[in-house]
A and B are shown apart, each in its own frame.
Chain A
Amino acid sequence: MTALFVVLGYAAIAIFLVGVLAKVWKYGTTPSPLKIPQTPAPVTATGVPVRMLSEVVLFKSLFKSNRVIWLAGYVFHIGLLLVVIKHYRFLFASVPAGLSYFDTFEMYPGIIMMGGLGLLFLLRLVVDRNMFISVMTDYFLILLFISIALTGTLAKHFYRVDITQVKQFMMGLISFSPMGENSAFPTETIFIIHFSLVLLLLVYFPFSKLMHSAGVFFSPTRNQVDNPREKRLVAPWAADISGNTVVSVKEEAAEAPGQA
């Protein structure tokens, strides 16, 4: 049992990391041949992170658009963030200062997360426009997240899975010494389901729309500086067809950090 989940665990993490990095590499290296910031846009390079943060932290454009979708999405993401933070105990031998604060939230992060997800699911069912655009994988992802949150909450608060054992297994995994005598895989059914679903999520992640989490930083309409009259942008392939020289590919990289 332990050996099986160790292998599955490493495989899932490897697929996740390689998959995500491959996508990020692709987003980063694909050229932007034209300046297409959504205006009004920042006119300086320092304005871009501010704009990006307002989107990533506050979902500003979504808020502008639709308060119900914003609420559903925001509640889900906040819940998810808290849940992920609360898993620190499985990854650190000793409790890092400050992180134990999150334990005071008890089971609420999981419930907050499920609340947001429930609303997102409901929106797909009751709003005809959302229904029209939804396919199986859209429903599946919400259900997958709900299942993970539900089994996690049940494992922790109702089935009282042996936390110490889970921790030892996880510590074994992350220290690359998974088959130690104390780090056996916990065999409670609810935990097996929870853990398996998380592995499934990790494997599916790089191939799914969940790549929005990394992709948003590469969105040219949001990460470009509005300075086309001052700074010339030419992509290498466009330079080739026009006989123009490449003058500002480096500048593009310099003005939007992370864009590569």
Chain B
Amino acid sequence: MADKEATATEEEPKVLTDLEKVGEPIVPRKKPNEIHPDELTGSIKIPKVQEGTAAGNKPYLCKSENMEKLGFPGDLREDWHDAAIAKMGDLLEKYKSLQVYMDICVKCGSCTDKCHYFIGTEDGKNMPVARAELFRKVYRKYFTTEGKILGKLAGAEKLDLELLGEWYSYFHQCSQCRRCSVFCPYGIDTAEISMAAREIMDHIGVGQKYTNDIIVKVHEVGNNLGMNPKALKATLESTEEDLEEETGKKIRLPLDEVGADVLMVTPSADFFASPHVESLLGYAKVFHQAGISWTFSSAASEAGNFGMFIGNYGQMQKVASRLTDAINEIKPKRLIVGECGHAWRIAYSFWNTLIGPFDSLDPNFKRPQHICEYTLDLVNRGAIKLDKSKNDHIIPTFHDSCNVARGARMGDKPGGQFTIPRDLIKASCNRYVEMDEETIMEKTFCCGGGGGLLTDDLLELRVKGAMPRMQAFSKVQESHGVNFLALICAICKAQFTKILPKYGVGMDVAGGVHQLVASAIDLGAKE
């Protein structure tokens, strides 16, 4: 006791600024060794509702320098309250989704047990409807007759610093995976609401470090990992050498080759992170065997686009517009996107809007095309051969990435995003095991690190949010000896590599679908 008092008097009593009141966790962040994940039993239990157990999860605030680079205020605006309400009004007029979803929730309870962060943290405010209510409270207070007259009785509340602090916490505990939306009778999409909340917060000077720093990096250097073109070129060259050593073949990883048929856009993590790079080798081998000319681009060395996570249309478009530069420079006929969940949602659903139409590309192919669509088509046409027996030591299962499963498609038929990656895995391996049907396809659980939360200051949340997927995985691991979690997302790959060991599972279990293609592909001479 005496010691504590002594240190307390020695230190200057810290006076928190308003911004810190909003952004600082109310309980200290846990150190990695203090985070204890649930035991893996193979079943997902819906917890009893707790209050505030996750209120301490807050990511680091973005520093003013980077806030200002993105055109946001560097500190909490003095008129933050009025500015926030004005921005809310602006978004309500710009987004049908937000306007409709503010009004029509009946609080039936359907979504309450569907969010991985609620299941993992047990905090009631991580139930999708309760998360949305943090926004709706304010909407009712300032934009509805009901809220203005009935106030708290109708669940209307003034936006104050305390509520803003809750926004900062709980809207950064949503990975925008849209699982709740699947089960909502009206399709209310919490992702739309959490994007709007982050957009409002950025506009008053409350930004998240991880997402915003990355967007700055893309603008300044060209990709999320901050690899400049020189470093990228060097990395690709050394990887080419490794490939030649492994295969004895001259398999290329071209960069900025003007006139290539295919422009390949992939998350920058694929260039050197593990296990991402294994899939990169897969793409290269597929292109090599297909005999098509292709290239990466240093202008568009990033498929990811964190502009979506912060709900900022302008940033999303600015990041995407790098691709326009690359297309103008390289003049490809086709555009193919690598393994990345949110990137595929943006490429598939938003690119045409943001930077389209892609009139210069060959209309005989999808604009853009997913690498899984491309590779499976080659396999089906016999243009490349896969030797499944090379993967006989592997018993894979497939984790549907949330953004691909619920926000995009592959192929021509609804649900192609489920069948095409699975067919590709099955073409690469003799065995395949499916996880519990409540956890796959449109009902898939997020990995726990999506939506701009893949940062170590949210490690506890990431561990807990991964729990439902980990339970489903451990079940097939136990029952069928599954030893490979096949992924098509850079964020999933990074998340599981970090989280699997916390649950006592080896990190090498996680890998890309094209990692399986890479080890099965027959690199012999083509007939």
Q: Give a binary string over B95-110; 1 marks a CB under 8 Å from any A CB, 0 the rest.
A: 1110111011111111
- How many residues of chain A have a CB within 8 Å of chain B? 63
Report 28 cross-chain contacts, Cβ distance below 8 Å, ordered by A residue.
A27-B100, A30-B95, A31-B96, A33-B95, A35-B350, A38-B442, A39-B414, A40-B415, A41-B409, A43-B409, A62-B110, A62-B183, A64-B183, A65-B111, A66-B183, A73-B108, A128-B49, A129-B109, A129-B127, A132-B130, A209-B106, A215-B186, A219-B97, A220-B96, A220-B189, A221-B178, A222-B187, A247-B357
Chain A positions within 8 Å of B352 at CB level: 228-229, 231-233
Q: A36-B192, A64-B183, A219-B186 are in contact. Are A209 and B96 (CB under 8 A)?
A: no
* B94-133 with Cβ < 8 A to chain A: 94-97, 99-101, 103-114, 124, 127, 129-130, 133
Looking at the assembled complex, report how far the CB atom of A256 sits from the nearest CB atom of chain B, in whole angstroms.
11
Which of A34, A65, A219, A221 sits near B110, CB closer than 8 Å? A65
B353, A133: Cβ atoms closer than 8 Å? no
Interface residue? B367 (CB, 8 A): yes
* A41-83 with Cβ < 8 A to chain B: 41-43, 55, 59, 61-62, 64-66, 69, 73
CB closest chain-B residue, reference A42: B414
B127, A219: Cβ atoms closer than 8 Å? no
B100, A215: Cβ atoms closer than 8 Å? yes
Q: A215-B100, A232-B356 are in contact. List 17 more A-B contacts (CB 8 A).
A: A23-B103, A30-B99, A31-B94, A33-B353, A34-B349, A43-B414, A59-B185, A61-B184, A62-B108, A62-B110, A215-B103, A216-B186, A219-B101, A220-B97, A220-B187, A221-B189, A247-B357
Interface residue? A237 (CB, 8 A): yes
Chain B positions within 8 Å of A123 at CB level: 109
A27, B99: Cβ atoms closer than 8 Å? yes
Chain B positions within 8 Å of A235 at CB level: 94
Interface residue? A1 (CB, 8 A): no
Q: A33-B94, A66-B110, A207-B146 are in contact. Are A226 and B183 (CB under 8 A)?
A: no
CB closest chain-A residue, reference B403: A39
B182, A40: Cβ atoms closer than 8 Å? no
A38, B96: Cβ atoms closer than 8 Å? no
| CB < 8 Å A-B pair total | 214
Interface residue? B348 (CB, 8 A): yes
Residues of A within 8 A of B (CB): 23, 26-27, 30-36, 38-43, 55, 59, 61-62, 64-66, 69, 73, 123-124, 127-130, 132-138, 207-209, 211-212, 215-216, 218-222, 226, 228-229, 231-235, 237-238, 241-242, 247
A219, B100: Cβ atoms closer than 8 Å? yes
Looking at the assembled complex, report how far the CB atom of B352 sits from the nearest CB atom of chain A, in whole angstroms.
5
A216, B104: Cβ atoms closer than 8 Å? yes
Q: How far is the CA of A66 from the CA of B352 in the complex (A)?
A: 37
A215, B104: Cβ atoms closer than 8 Å? yes
B183, A61: Cβ atoms closer than 8 Å? yes
Q: Give a binary string over B167-198; 1 marks a CB under 8 Å from any A CB, 0 the rest.
A: 00000000000100111111111001000000
Looking at the assembled complex, report how far the CB atom of A212 sits from the nearest CB atom of chain B, in whole angstroms.
4
Chain B positions within 8 Å of A209 at CB level: 103-107
Chain A positions within 8 Å of B48 at CB level: 128
Interface residue? B298 (CB, 8 A): no
Chain A positions within 8 Å of B442 at CB level: 38-40
Which of A65, A129, A130, A221 sits near B97, CB closer than 8 Å? A221
CB closest chain-B residue, reference A208: B146
Looking at the assembled complex, report how far the CB atom of A128 sits from the nearest CB atom of chain B, in whole angstroms.
5
B133, A34: Cβ atoms closer than 8 Å? no
Q: How far is the CA of A249 from the CA of B274 in the complex (A)?
A: 43
Chain A positions within 8 Å of B414 at CB level: 39-43, 226
Chain A positions within 8 Å of B27 at CB level: none
CB closest chain-B residue, reference A65: B183
Which of A23, A59, A136 sits near B153, CB closer than 8 Å? A136
CB closest chain-A residue, reference B178: A38
Of the candidates B94, B152, B413, the one having the most CB atoms from chain A within 10 angstroms of its own CB is B94
